[in-house]
């Protein structure tokens, strides 16, 4: 799938000691020997606008989605609050207790620029449960692939701004701002104020606006999807209201686009009831009588929530989608897949991380975009790109067919 011009992307990342994940690397982060110690023959792959994580329960799929939320929460609320939101320090650290929580992210602002690498290590003070930011660094890799050059290095509670001069004529007071940040706060937020510093303001915004959406509904007849974690959007009704208020001129067109993508629906209308409450009316083909959201099943509500996400005129640049097809009928799954691919192909600007257990959904994805998570003999989580799994099985990719996952990899033991 070709990328739109100047498409910002996370090309790869690694995570260590975060919840169930002891160590994992996905995408071009394999080449970052400064952090990854183990030797590997795997060629690094740059991630695309869509990355799908599959695997058994407990393989770390949700941990990956939440890891980016964790960093976003540190940016917004500080380190202590980010831990509190997840049940405390012990609930976040890997059970082994060995080494710091570590993240590395390779980010490219556009196709013509060399990527930056952001490194963040979080450790605990000896004999305490007090966490602090042990290491924070921003490195630029030159286009000739020489050793990455740091512009920020922060270790053991002290921050140093290095090599700023080639990119940014930083004043002494600005450098003091960096050095004055405490060990509970990310320096990334301050560096993002230096507008001439390459890529960092965009990278900070990329992370800070990230959220994960999942569908939680105790009653299929209730209008409760989706649940946006770590954002101010609480449910679908609020999201529709927000879209109407912020994009009033385009709102009818947005509803029409959404409606056309729901099987059997002719149009959608946003109606105001006598009680003053707004409600969404579905007009199905061949019927003049509307069906209102409380009368709909979970499958169509889930699809509606996801389509609403895709049609936001001002979308987030990085979005996590957790188990989109759970409790969704096959026709609705196929509509979701078509809408997702249309968003990437025709609209662009958003990078999606998605988890799923659905064989139907996996078969509709490109094996270059799907990463299989599994536990090795030591209990550590590993990540393997499904295209490599097919090649390892000696399968001819030209004849793999439309059911590449269910026919060839689904039952392969690991």
Rounded average pLDDT over 179-208: 84
**For residues 69 and 229, is the Cβ–Cβ distance under 8 A?**
yes
Measured CA to CA, the distance from residue 409 to residue 404 in angstroms comes to: 7
Beta-carbon contacts of residue 134 (< 8 Å; ≥ 6 apart): 100, 121, 122, 123, 155, 156
Least confident span in 119-128, 208-217, 257-266: 208-217
pLDDT digits (tens, 9 = 90+) for 364-381: 999 999 999 998 888 788
pLDDT digits (tens, 9 = 90+) for 38-64: 444 445 678 999 999 999 888 899 999
Helix ranges, 96-169 (H): none
DSSP E strands, 164-300: 211-214, 227-229, 265-272, 278-284, 291-292
pLDDT band at 34 (very low <50, low <70, confident <90, very high): very low
Strands 50-54 and 370-375: parallel
Strands 351-355 and 50-54: parallel
pLDDT digits (tens, 9 = 90+) for 310-364: 999 988 899 999 999 888 899 999 999 999 999 999 888 899 999 999 999 999 9
251-260 vs 298-310: helix crossing angle, rounded to 10? 130
pTM here? 0.87
pLDDT over 70 (residue 227) = no
pLDDT digits (tens, 9 = 90+) for 84-129: 999 999 999 998 878 899 999 999 887 546 788 899 999 998 888 8
Cβ count within 10 A of residue 1: 11
pLDDT on residue 355:
95
More confident residue, 296 or 5: 296
Q: What is the mean pLDDT of the chain?
A: 81
Which helix (DSSP H) or strand (DSSP E) does residue 135 occupy?
strand 131-140
pLDDT on residue 241:
84
Measured CA to CA, the distance from residue 313 to residue 75 in angstroms comes to: 25
pLDDT on residue 223:
36
pLDDT over 90 (residue 254) = yes
Measured CA to CA, the distance from residue 401 to residue 407 in angstroms comes to: 9
Measured CA to CA, the distance from residue 16 to residue 19 in angstroms comes to: 9
């Amino acid at each position: 799938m070709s990328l739109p011009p100047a498409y910002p992307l996370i090309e790869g990342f690694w995570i260590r000691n975060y919840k169930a994940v002891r160590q994992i690397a996905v995408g071009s982060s394999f080449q970052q020997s400064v952090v990854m110690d183990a030797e590997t023959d795997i060629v690094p792959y740059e991630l695309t606008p869509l990355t799908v994580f599959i695997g058994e329960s407990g393989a770390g799929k949700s941990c990956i989605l939440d890891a980016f939320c964790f960093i976003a929460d540190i940016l917004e609320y500080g380190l202590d609050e980010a831990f509190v939101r997840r049940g405390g320090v012990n609930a976040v650290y890997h059970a082994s207790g060995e080494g710091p929580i570590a993240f590395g992210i390779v980010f490219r602002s556009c196709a013509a620029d060399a990527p930056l690498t952001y490194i963040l290590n979080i450790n605990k003070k000896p004999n305490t449960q007090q966490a602090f930011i042990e290491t924070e660094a921003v490195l630029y890799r030159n286009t000739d692939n020489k050793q990455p050059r740091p512009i920020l290095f922060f270790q053991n509670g002290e921050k140093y701004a290095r090599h700023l001069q080639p990119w940014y004529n930083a004043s002494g007071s600005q450098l003091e701002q960096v050095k004055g940040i405490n060990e509970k706060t990310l320096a990334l937020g301050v560096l993002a104020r230096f507008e001439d510093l390459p890529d960092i303001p965009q990278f900070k915004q990329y992370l800070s606006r990230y959220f994960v959406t999942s569908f939680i509904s105790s009653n299929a007849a209730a209008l409760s999807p989706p649940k946006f974690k770590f954002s101010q959007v609480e449910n679908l009704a609020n999201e529709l209201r927000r879209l109407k208020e912020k994009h009033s001129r385009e709102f009818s067109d947005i509803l029409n686009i959404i409606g056309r993508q729901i099987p059997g629906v002719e149009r959608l209308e946003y109606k105001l009831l006598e009680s003053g409450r707004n409600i969404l009316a579905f007009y199905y083909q061949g019927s003049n009588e509307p069906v209102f959201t409380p009368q709909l099943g979970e499958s169509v509500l889930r699809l509606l929530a996801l389509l609403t996400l895709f049609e936001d005129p001002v979308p987030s640049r990085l979005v996590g989608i957790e188990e989109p097809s759970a409790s969704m009928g096959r026709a609705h799954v196929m509509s979701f897949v078509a809408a997702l691919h249309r968003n990437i192909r025709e609209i662009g600007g958003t990078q999606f991380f998605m988890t799923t257990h659905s064989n139907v959904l996996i078969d509709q994805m490109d094996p270059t975009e799907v990463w299989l998570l599994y536990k090795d003999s030591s209990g550590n989580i590993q990540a393997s790109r499904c295209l490599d799994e097919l090649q390892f099985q000696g399968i001819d990719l030209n004849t793999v067919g439309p059911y590449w996952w269910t026919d060839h990899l689904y039952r392969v033991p690991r």
